[in-house]
Structure 1
Amino acid sequence: MLIGIAITLFLFSYFFIIIEKIPRAVIAVFGASLLIIFGVLTQEKAIHHIDWNTLGLLVGMMIIVDLTRRSGIFTFLAIWISKKVKGDPLLLMLSLSLLTAFLSALLDNVTTVLLIVPVALSIADQLEVDPTPFLFSQILMSNIGGTATLIGDPPNIIIAGQTQLSFMDFIINLAPVIIIIIIVALYIFYLLYRHKLVTKDELKTKLMVQNEWDHIKDFALLKKSLSVLSLVILGFSLHSILHLETATIALSGAMLLMIWTHEEPEDIFLAIEWPTLFFFAGLFVLVGGLIEVGVLDRLAVWSMSLTQGDPLIMAMLILFISALLSSFLDNIPFVATMIPLIQKLALLSQFTAAQTQPLWWALALGACLGGNGTLVGASANLIVAGIAEKNGIKIRYTQFLKVGFPIMILSTVISAIYLLIRYY
């Protein structure tokens, strides 16, 4: 009975998220509320399923990015980058895509899109081109680049915490295939948008003659913002050594910057993307309902039983199931569910550590790259959609699906070939 209610409410909510007739934050929270009303979850369990670290990280970074934006640095960067590529919008989109992938590996993909998307929107506005290609490429490359390192994407952090894999283990085993996928994705972006990203010569000229330094409105604020942002980024890279969660680091940095700049809290808190945060909270609870009634457990165990103890089949199944399910479910609770199942299957199959390790890379690749499949597949996707909506740009679910899902499938196939050649 409870299984049927949980599945029905999840599908009901997902249907309305897709058709976009009602704001997705409202639908997600309403669906989560119904789970509690019908007894699938208690309120305490629902709260437990919300990833407060993710929400705290988002709030902290939104505050820091908004205060940094007020200095004029994003407009400065937009003009500076534009002048480097002679104002060509296609080259700008490809350059920002590559930068996003690189920063997502060094920082994390959520922080990266919060920093880069305002730059992309400023460029698109000044060149009077459709911002959608910029936004789509930011989403896709943030998830691809974030897959390469331990700190780049939340699923990797969870896997590392449960398996004792090191920072270098992730780079050595995942970075090679991610570099290949980045090159392929850049070529696809070129083919998709080479005729769409065209602007007038006078707009290029107008951009080229601007002095980027004129757009820095407050040098004192800029210095303070960049100082705090540098500390926060350092904290992210050392969070496992400091034994601090990323939310604690981001929120501490945000409060420090607010104290330092003497900004009014009421004004700053308006910059927070509250609909995005409520959508995340509702989605976490909806997936939590499926976890509580055992839907994900049953699906995973049934899928793994098909492998009959063969490590190659198991790795391929983990990769493709993770990619497909992570496109439609949030990949954080999915990975948290898969880890103990993989550990148990490896133990029952008497796998050595060398045989088990490729299973973790399959899970990481599938869960992280799978986030590109749909607009709700990963945190970075929803953050970009929220920023876009605040700027009057509507990213539709089906619109993103047509671009994201094929690229997700292709990157998963490339990952499968890589795993096959390298480990089997």
Structure 2
Amino acid sequence: MALSFSQAFIKNFLGKSPDWYKVLILLFLAINPLLYKINPFIAGWVLVAQFIFTLAMALKCYPLQPGGLLAIEAVAIGMTSPEMVMHELEGNLEVLLLLVFMVAGIYFMKQLLLFIFTKILLNIRSKTVLSLAFCVASAFLSAFLDALTVIAVVISVATGFYAIYHKVASGKDFQAKHDHTSDEHVQEISRDDLNHYRAFLRSLLLHAGVGTALGGVMTMVGEPQNLIIAGQANWHFGEFMLRMAPVTVPVFFFGLATCFFVEKTKICGYGARLPDSIRQILIEYDLDQTTRRSPQDKAKLWVQAAIAVWLIVGLALHLASVGLIGLTVIVLATSFTGITEEHALGKAFEEALPFTALLAVFFAIVAVIVDQELFTPIITWVLHLEGAEQLAMFYIANGLLSMVSDNVFVGTVYILEVKEALLAGMLTRDEFDILAVAINTGTNLPSVATPNGQAAFLFLLTSTLAPLLRLSYSRMVIMALPYTVVLSLIGLACIELTLVPMTEWMLELGWIHPQTLVPENTTTSHH
């Protein structure tokens, strides 16, 4: 039976998404111009809510298309301008280059990563210890590298593990070509194990994701907003670490305690063990790889190990922007492992480029937030509070806004507002330093609540691995919940109770030094 034009249009629009979802997106696009004419401020918040909805429905439809349509409409009706979107993209160029080059660079390191993590997975039999190992390793790496790079490594490893078992469960040997995205050939007897394995990998990914937040908040290179805040406050690497320590150190240990607790109690989707049948397959895979490893393969592993050392040193010492270091990884890894064909290079970019485009759309939504001044009432209210109440509310307001927006954007807006208050004589330098700690920890810790709060979480949600492991937006929110509650409350308690006395104590010991007023010319506005 032939389709009518309207039926054909609906069938083509957003492809295989459910009809109710397609109708809802069209409804959003219809009401936004009307709402913008009535009240631009409310229309702005409605647009933010709509965009978050498209992220939440990432397994129904990749958010780039529906989110992109909302962003295009926002520019078309005047909620923001192409110049403002471009300004946001320019301000976040480092993050975009990181995704384009670093994630592709990690792709060329996957043989080494799979080798190392297979050894870890097979040698640590306790799921609780393994979870803690993933959490601690991610935290340590994120403190010196950056969260997106670390999560790209973990995604690459988890995809490798998933593909190995999926291939065997489909009745093929290790060397056979196989599409691990389709369950069509998975034998019935293996489906139960496959579901347990998915739950096992999901929990490891979430522990690693939270680990990136625990480590990322500690140092000035851990997250992009940390660098901006450190620059505004004139703090060097060591001073930044010490000033954050009264909050970040207790939070780190409570984070590990939460990891232990959720694995033991098996709440919120944690506690899944590695099925014995799958462990055996991974042991056989490791043995197969060892026996087949030629001198050429061993040379590749050694080259990748040397590049990994360069990667860690280059990022830890901040020798260049993360994206440029990623580009050197691509050049070195391909040059010395014999990958010279264009189509072989192209595969490396498949994972990162859709997310890079999505992030560009995300910054268009951020441009709307700026132009419509959606956060201004909250910022103004918090700035007019005083003392301990102001400190706590800075932390809470940053946390809540970071859950719905980009934590780099929130951190930047707040630190620049506080800087203006300092230069205007509304704050002392000591008050500014304490507030800077509250802003940094506020943007980093409560934002684990949602995938849009942390770029690393959003990357995980929109990766090709998420649908394979049945990792939806709602499942991520539920799995992050114990961490959200603990990290947010412990962070708040430290802000209120220990931050000021500990800072004064460190000043007395001479570990940190009183800062002079920040000169005007150090301001490097994000907007």
**1:375 paired to 2:461:** no
Deviation of 1:410 after TM superposition, in Å, equals: 2.2
Residue 418 of structure 2 aligns with which residue?
Answer: 342
Residue 188 of structure 1 aligns with which residue?
Answer: 258
Separation (CA, whole Å) in 2 of partners of 1:207 and 1:393: 18
Residue 168 of structure 1 aligns with which residue?
Answer: 238
Secondary structure of the residue aligned to 2:449 is coil
Normalization by structure 1: what TM-score? 0.88
Q: 1:267 to 1:55 in 2, by over 3 A?
A: same
Q: Is the 8 A contact 1:76 1:215 kept in 2?
A: no
Separation (CA, whole Å) in 2 of partners of 1:325 and 1:216: 50
Q: Is the 8 A contact 2:143 2:215 kept in 1?
A: yes
Residue identity opposite 1:311 in structure 2: G
Deviation of 1:291 after TM superposition, in Å, equals: 0.6
Secondary structure of the residue aligned to 1:295 is coil
320, 335, 356: which one aligns with 2:432: 356
Listed as ranges, the gaps of 5+ residues in structure 1 are: none
**1:268 paired to 2:345:** yes
Secondary structure of the residue aligned to 1:371 is helix
Deviations 1:180-204 (A, max 9, x none): 3233223323332345322444554
Residue 332 of structure 1 aligns with which residue?
Answer: 408
Separation (CA, whole Å) in 2 of partners of 1:149 and 1:372: 17
Q: 1:83 to 1:389 in 2, by over 3 A?
A: closer
Q: 1:121 to 1:179 in 2, by over 3 A?
A: farther
Separation (CA, whole Å) in 2 of partners of 1:215 and 1:133: 32
Residue identity opposite 2:451 in structure 1: L
Residue identity opposite 2:381 in structure 1: W
117, 142, 149: which one aligns with 2:155: 117
Q: 1:97 to 1:120 in 2, by over 3 A?
A: farther
Separation (CA, whole Å) in 2 of partners of 1:404 and 1:35: 31
Count of residue correspondences: 415
Secondary structure of the residue aligned to 1:351 is coil
Residue identity opposite 1:226 in structure 2: A
Deviations 1:254-305 (A, max 9, x none): 2444445443233323332222112211111101111122222333113322
Deviation of 1:13 after TM superposition, in Å, equals: 2.0
Separation (CA, whole Å) in 2 of partners of 1:41 and 1:3: 12
Residue 119 of structure 2 aligns with which residue?
Answer: 80
29, 33, 40: which one aligns with 2:72: 33
Residue identity opposite 2:367 in structure 1: G
Residue 41 of structure 2 aligns with which residue?
Answer: 3
Separation (CA, whole Å) in 1 of partners of 2:371 and 2:396: 24
Deviation of 1:92 after TM superposition, in Å, equals: 1.8
**1:286 paired to 2:389:** no
281-290 vs 188-197, which moves further: 188-197
Deviations 1:373-405 (A, max 9, x none): 101111111222234537722321111112324
Residue 415 of structure 1 aligns with which residue?
Answer: 491
Separation (CA, whole Å) in 1 of partners of 2:234 and 2:75: 36
Deviation of 1:350 after TM superposition, in Å, equals: 4.2
Separation (CA, whole Å) in 2 of partners of 1:245 and 1:225: 21
131, 136, 145: which one aligns with 1:98: 136
State the identity %: 20
Residue 132 of structure 1 aligns with which residue?
Answer: 202
Separation (CA, whole Å) in 2 of partners of 1:176 and 1:123: 38
Residue 310 of structure 2 aligns with which residue?
Answer: 231
Residue identity opposite 1:392 in structure 2: L
Separation (CA, whole Å) in 1 of partners of 2:293 and 2:397: 48
Superposed CA RMSD in Å reads 2.6
Deviations 1:141-185 (A, max 9, x none): 111111111111111011112221111112212245333323322
Separation (CA, whole Å) in 2 of partners of 1:341 and 1:269: 43
275-284 vs 223-232, which moves further: 223-232
Q: Is the 8 A contact 2:217 2:226 kept in 1?
A: yes
Residue 151 of structure 1 aligns with which residue?
Answer: 221
Q: 1:365 to 1:390 in 2, by over 3 A?
A: closer
Separation (CA, whole Å) in 2 of partners of 1:28 and 1:393: 23
Separation (CA, whole Å) in 1 of partners of 2:276 and 2:126: 9
Residue identity opposite 1:238 in structure 2: L
Residue 22 of structure 1 aligns with which residue?
Answer: 61
Secondary structure of the residue aligned to 2:462 is helix
Q: Is the 8 A contact 2:102 2:325 kept in 1?
A: no
Larger-Rg structure: 2
Separation (CA, whole Å) in 2 of partners of 1:3 and 1:271: 41
**1:254 paired to 2:330:** yes
Residue 198 of structure 1 aligns with which residue?
Answer: 273
Deviations 1:63-98 (A, max 9, x none): 1111111xx22331223113432x333322221111
Q: Is the 8 A contact 2:214 2:255 kept in 1?
A: no
207-216 vs 293-302, which moves further: 207-216
Deviations 1:122-156 (A, max 9, x none): 55766962211111111111111111111111110
Normalization by structure 2: what TM-score? 0.72
Separation (CA, whole Å) in 1 of partners of 2:292 and 2:218: 35
Residue identity opposite 2:392 in structure 1: M
Q: 1:147 to 1:80 in 2, by over 3 A?
A: same
Residue 398 of structure 2 aligns with which residue?
Answer: 322
Separation (CA, whole Å) in 2 of partners of 1:365 and 1:200: 38
